[in-house]
């Protein structure tokens, strides 16, 4: 039997989940992100439940519905890239969830700063770096008070 309801070190329940939005127009990138994360990116964070979007409008809609805890956006997505989606979400969505952007080159980091991304990683995806960055965003989100009303 599992540890149902037992508090993990970060104050989150070990059997709780967080909804992770993955945005990319490329299904193989979405799959690569899912595989890098696995069921739980770190022992002290909730399990990951994935919500996938292939278009910018769908990603923005899901980010705005308050059911997403953390987002991972592909900066190389077409026709609208993750950096533009991130910037729009940060400008337009009240209490926007933390967002990680995957950029094409390390030198594109300044663009991710412009987009106001909370974390940045690069293609090709490093599974360890992606999981560590996501776990940090999940910890931050867990510490933010819940939106009510």
Convert the pLDDT of each residue in 79-118 to its tens digit. 999 999 999 999 999 999 999 999 988 777 777 788 999 9
**What is the rounded end-to-end Cα distance, in angstroms, of the chain?**
36
CA distance 88 to 31: 25
Characterise 118 by phi-psi region: left (phi > 0), alpha (psi -120 to 50), beta (else): alpha
Q: Which residues contact 130 (CB under 8 A, 6 or more apart)?
A: 33, 36, 37, 41, 72, 100, 102, 121
> What's the mean pLDDT in 133-140?
96
Question: Bridge partners of 100?
Answer: 72, 119
pLDDT in tens, 62-80: 999 879 999 999 999 999 9
Encoded tokens for 26: 């490329």
CA 90 to chain centre: 13
| CATH 3.40.50.620 at 17-142, yes or no | no
Q: Return the SS3 of 121.
A: strand
Show me where the domains of the chain are located. 17-142
């Amino acid at each position: 039997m599992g540890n149902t309801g037992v508090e993990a070190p970060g104050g989150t329940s070990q059997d709780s989940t967080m909804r992770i939005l993955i945005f990319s127009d490329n299904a193989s990138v979405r799959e690569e992100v899912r595989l890098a994360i696995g069921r739980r990116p770190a022992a002290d964070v909730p399990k990951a439940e994935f919500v996938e979007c292939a278009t910018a409008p769908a990603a923005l809609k899901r980010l705005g519905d308050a059911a997403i805890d953390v987002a991972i956006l592909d900066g190389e997505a077409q026709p609208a890239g993750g950096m533009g989606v991130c910037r729009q979400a940060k400008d337009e969505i009240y209490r926007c969830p933390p967002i990680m952007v995957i950029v094409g080159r390390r030198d594109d980091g300044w663009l991710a700063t412009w987009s106001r991304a909370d974390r940045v990683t690069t293609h090709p995806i490093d599974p360890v770096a992606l999981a560590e960055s996501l776990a940090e965003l999940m910890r931050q989100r867990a510490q933010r008070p819940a939106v009510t009303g």
